[in-house]
Amino acid sequence: MELHFFGTNGIRGIPNDDLSAEFSMDVGKAMATFFSAKKIAMAKDTRITGDMILNAVSSAVMSAGTDVVYLGILPTPALQYYCKKNHVPGIMITASHNPPQYNGIKAIDMDGTEIDEEKEYEIEKLIMNKKFKNVSWENAGRFYYDDTAVDLYINGIISLINFKKISERKLNVAIDTGNGASYYTSPLLLSRLNCHIVTLNSNPDGKFTGRNSEPKPENLQDLINIMKTGKFDIGIAHDGDADRCVFIDENGNFIDGNESLALIAKYTLRAGETLVTPTSSSDALKDVCQQKNAKIIVTRVGAPIVARTMIENNAVIGGEENGGVIYGKHQFCRDGAMTMSLMLNLLACENKKISELLREIPKYYMVKKSVPRKYDWDVIKNKLLDALGNKKTDLLDGIKIYEDSGWVLIRPSGTEKILRIFTESKNEKTAMDLNEKYINIINKL
């Protein structure tokens, strides 16, 4: 199956360019036709084009005879939790970590998971053939508001952690919500957990003027500087729709998503249980699973793929190297607030500093860079394979090359027209050198 509109996480584009109001309506009609449900829950992040895309999609949904239950500005996982608990499909208007000029449309299944590729393919066929359900005026859907989603979501998270111990610890927390969808929910959750909090960029701003919405070290310097004062136990940052969460330790050091996932896995997994993670993740996860006598399953990149594999294998935890953790006991999707709460639970129960806990995780160094993708991936892939000769490779997702000193993963982004280059080694300089080496090879090709 070849998908034309859906990327790694939904449909994304620039409104009034490749994500027009007309196309958004077609997507809404197709999703309503596909789900054929009495009602669909909808939410959006803070982007300034959110109203435009939301209104186009919701009008289209109602034209198919389906009611729209609007939940307001919410993190994507909060909408997913609402869908799961109320057994209704959902549509999220978000472009996650992409720059503010982007927006997107993401379909949520009735179990709260992102729809799989087969369902995306069926929706694309409806879009291309314009075979939409269309009802007479008296059967058109209605538009309702529901303000219960925030409490439902936060109470669900609190039920899965040691509320008493976290409350007693009175953790000092600095949080940067990046002007995104978690501007209200994450500070509220931290307050209920009796944390002393300082917030950064905790106002809804669809232009992300506080910082770039992707929570990378270069975008989190204000939070890092606050953490360097030594007055806080942990720093927390989300992306635009808060399905991801990254951390800064008490000394102001950025914690790589691989390390935070490995740390949560170490204290969550039990012998015989399963962790699911994509091929882009660190070998530290394999080491942790080996220590815990747990099983690890490696998948293609993409949170929906990880989540589906977790469901199929009854896995407790899964996640990606970008701060996207999936906790199966809560829901099968990336959830920034749940990830945040699991880390606070760990700090409270172990009564240690986060830097101390991280010393228990096997140390690897990963370098992540990207280059513009000028040609079709198949062309690049074939040329790369020819250039690699007899080197050991894995073609599960992109091309993973095994060197004596580490590994390299080259794959096309599912959300942008770039090639992502991941390299990992137990030696930091080696990881950097490997990345530079393969960027040069790509540029020459």
> CATH top-level class for 365-444?
alpha beta
pLDDT at 179: 97
Taking Cα atoms as reference points, which of 86, 133, 140 lies closest to residue 109?
86
pLDDT confidence tier of residue 152, bands split at 50, 70 and 90: very high
- Is 296 strand, coil or helix? strand
Which residue has 């992540």 as its token pair? 368
Q: What is the mean pLDDT of the chain?
A: 96
Taking Cα atoms as reference points, which of 233, 203, 205, 235 lies closest to residue 220?
235
User: Rounded to an integer, what distance in angstroms lies between the CA atom of residue 31 and that of residue 106?
Assistant: 10
CATH 3.30.310.50 intervals, the chain = 365-444
pLDDT at 416: 79
pLDDT confidence tier of residue 445, bands split at 50, 70 and 90: confident
CA 363 to chain centre: 24
Which amino acid appears at position 387 of this protein?
Answer: A
pLDDT digits (tens, 9 = 90+) for 301-310: 988 899 999 9
Mean pLDDT, rounded, for 175-179: 98
> CATH top-level class for 152-358?
alpha beta
Q: List the end-to-end C-alpha distance of the chain, in Å, as a whole number.
A: 28
pLDDT digits (tens, 9 = 90+) for 40-97: 999 999 999 999 999 999 999 999 999 999 999 999 999 999 999 999 999 999 999 9
User: Rounded to an integer, what distance in angstroms lies between the CA atom of residue 391 and that of residue 387?
Assistant: 10
- Tell me 423's DSSP state: E
CB 15 within 8 A of CB 206: no
Backbone angles phi, psi at 430, to 5 degrees: -60, -45
CATH 3.40.120.10 intervals, the chain = 6-147, 152-358
Mean pLDDT, rounded, for 385-408: 96
pLDDT confidence tier of residue 322, bands split at 50, 70 and 90: confident
CB 39 within 8 A of CB 91: no
pLDDT confidence tier of residue 1, bands split at 50, 70 and 90: low
Half-sphere exposure of 335 (CA within 13 A, CB side): 30
pLDDT at 3: 87
Pick the CATH number of 6-147 from 3.40.120.10, 3.40.50.150, 3.90.550.10, 3.30.365.10: 3.40.120.10
State the catalytic residue, choosing from 24, 59, 63, 96.
96
Q: 96 an active-site residue? A: yes
